[in-house]
Structure 1
């Protein structure tokens, strides 16, 4: 069955998500703020949930239409083939948003959409009530400037919930954002990667999973696993293929340091749960003691923000250490995400080679990229 799917994304990561979808072999229809729409089938739903590293959710798009009156919303919703997806015992809820639309009451829109779906299913199954004991179907009605988009969430819990985070520290970075930071650095197996403020280890762990080609959704469940639309054989085949795709022989050199001993212990525990503890070196260490373990390495760091944790004095010391390291080892590259709009000058005394506006939760941040001078045998 040809299906229209939407991968939602944190603002600024749309290009990363688009590239991941293309790598899975699916055709992109359009890329907009916060989402990438593409064509697929039942297997694409499974593969997308298993493999997308930087997307927030995978949605199945049911329809898109204009509605300026409640009756129009009801009739257009009821006309859709809900019975092809929702079985008699299906359990479904309706969420919604409305921006700059005549139908501005979200609760009212949710009730209308739910009523329309119920009426359609009652007619099809010839019943008055539903047991709602089966799989979960979360319908979302998004209304923007009178244009309604109806989708069903295939993921359940957000895709950042990989299943390996057993121990945590204050203000952890989301796994999806961490994976995007690694991909935007163009790091790959065979090159050194260091996170000198690793916290609970998310950036090093995501890098190791990328380096070993471990599907990020391999150790969790999804809402659509119980859907009748997707045959159980598809799940078995795709999970088997994902296990077989893991590269246990990848040569990885990844380091995670943090001054907080509790954070380091949490990172080690999480890495073990993710199955990558054998290819990451975690150690309690101050950023000021950072030293290179080789040439042409990459530092990816999410230092404390003034708005979050860490006092200004601590941040100043981290900046000083990172700036000194870049000066002493110009062949290394630094990739740093922070809310500090003066960070590039404070760290390196110059503009970054590249900047990217991203959001870490609700915080607007910038991903500063300082590219190292590539050292070659001839240039030594």
Structure 2
């Protein structure tokens, strides 16, 4: 199989970041849409993309895309696709679905039709009447958007944000993919101090450390496509060995994280230790207002409390005022903060140099960027 068409799904607002990652991985024919980036590559790019993409949620194989106004049309066009190239006789294929602004609005009916069509197609290859589905998992999705059906197979399995290091998360954890994107959208590099004054379970700093050390985010986890016969096992082992070789063990990082909650600091330390980064990040329990920062040209990247609950709003607003006051005394620092509070700039006391709309889970947020001067 020379060329494979794939889709990297991502959170709305991060498409440009994920596209940049794909370009760095060497794939081509990239097309960006809302929440997904289509691209073409080889079978070797499936393990490479799963191991290295920091801001994508999943890597899908695109089986086909067509207009479907009736269930008969959905059945026949699905059946015409080469499912036997990917799914073996014992393949455990599961069909999931979603429908937005389409005449085929019944998700359960669409799933049933697609599964039936796949079965009929596979029967032309395998001489059986019943598929036991006892082998590797193949998660098929039928996504209907404005009457266009996109059929994919998920190569990732668990979402790519599940790196495997976060055994313990805080009360309001940020996804690893979003945390990585915040770092990649900033001007931080491994030679500058990075401070998260509301570090919680440490996700932003751990993602920054993995970027600084060039650690592939998927190195310590498994993927559904590892168990597929179409992709030689050698491809996965070669990519893992190459990823291990690329780790920068020599760089010294300057990463600091504080929080007022003792349990969060303990979680953060445990999570960092799970990736072997416990010596690269200093987590300590302290109120942001009381942290003594001696360095110039540092960077803050943080996910502060939002004050979503009524009783917390006044306290959070005062926290934002104090946050702004704290860093008005550090004019050489660059500040990056994500929050759903639309009055953040007023409370912080300064207009952001740039503001970017993102989503933290289902919460619409803005990523505020306050640029300090370039280091001398």
Return the alpha-carbon distance in structure 1 between the equivalents of residues 310 and 158 of structure 2.
27
Quote the offset at 1:292 in angstroms.
1.8
Residues 96 and 308 of structure 1: is their aligned pair in 2 closer, same or farther, counting only changes over 3 Å? farther
3-state SS of paired residue (1:160) = coil
Quote the offset at 1:197 in angstroms.
0.4
Tell me if 1:282 matches 2:266. no
Does the 8 A contact of 2:169 with 2:267 survive in 1?
A: yes
Return the alpha-carbon distance in structure 2 between the equivalents of residues 159 and 293 of structure 1.
37
Return the alpha-carbon distance in structure 2 between the equivalents of residues 66 and 97 of structure 1.
15
Tell me if 1:64 matches 2:65. yes
Normalising by structure 2, what TM-score?
0.97
Quote the offset at 1:310 in angstroms.
7.9
Partner of 2:269: 268
CA-atom RMSD in angstroms: 1.2
Return the alpha-carbon distance in structure 2 between the equivalents of residues 375 and 48 of structure 1.
34
Partner of 1:356: 356
Does the 8 A contact of 2:212 with 2:253 survive in 1?
A: yes
Matches within 5 A, 1:248-267: 248-267=249-268
Return the alpha-carbon distance in structure 2 between the equivalents of residues 245 and 57 of structure 1.
23
Deviations 1:321-340 (A, max 9, x none): 32122211100011000000
Return the alpha-carbon distance in structure 2 between the equivalents of residues 231 and 375 of structure 1.
47
Partner of 2:169: 168
Residues 224 and 216 of structure 1: is their aligned pair in 2 closer, same or farther, counting only changes over 3 Å? same
Quote the offset at 1:150 in angstroms.
0.3
Gaps of 5+ in 1: none
Does the 8 A contact of 1:257 with 1:285 survive in 2?
A: yes
Quote the offset at 1:309 in angstroms.
9.6
Partner of 1:146: 147
Deviations 1:155-191 (A, max 9, x none): 0000010000112210100000000000001311101
Return the alpha-carbon distance in structure 2 between the equivalents of residues 124 and 49 of structure 1.
29
Return the alpha-carbon distance in structure 2 between the equivalents of residues 99 and 260 of structure 1.
42
Deviations 1:69-95 (A, max 9, x none): 111111111111111100010001111
3-state SS of paired residue (2:129) = coil
Return the alpha-carbon distance in structure 1 between the equivalents of residues 70 and 263 of structure 2.
56
3-state SS of paired residue (1:278) = coil
Deviations 1:11-32 (A, max 9, x none): 0000110011111111143101
Return the alpha-carbon distance in structure 2 between the equivalents of residues 60 and 261 of structure 1.
43
Partner of 1:77: 78
Partner of 2:367: 367
Return the alpha-carbon distance in structure 1 between the equivalents of residues 266 and 257 of structure 2.
11
After TM superposition, where is structure 1 displaced by more than 3 Å over at least 4 residues in a row?
none
Quote the offset at 1:307 in angstroms.
1.4
3-state SS of paired residue (1:220) = coil
Normalising by structure 1, what TM-score?
0.96
Does the 8 A contact of 1:54 with 1:177 survive in 2?
A: yes
3-state SS of paired residue (1:125) = coil
Return the alpha-carbon distance in structure 2 between the equivalents of residues 309 and 32 of structure 1.
36
Return the alpha-carbon distance in structure 2 between the equivalents of residues 309 and 248 of structure 1.
46
Partner of 2:117: 116
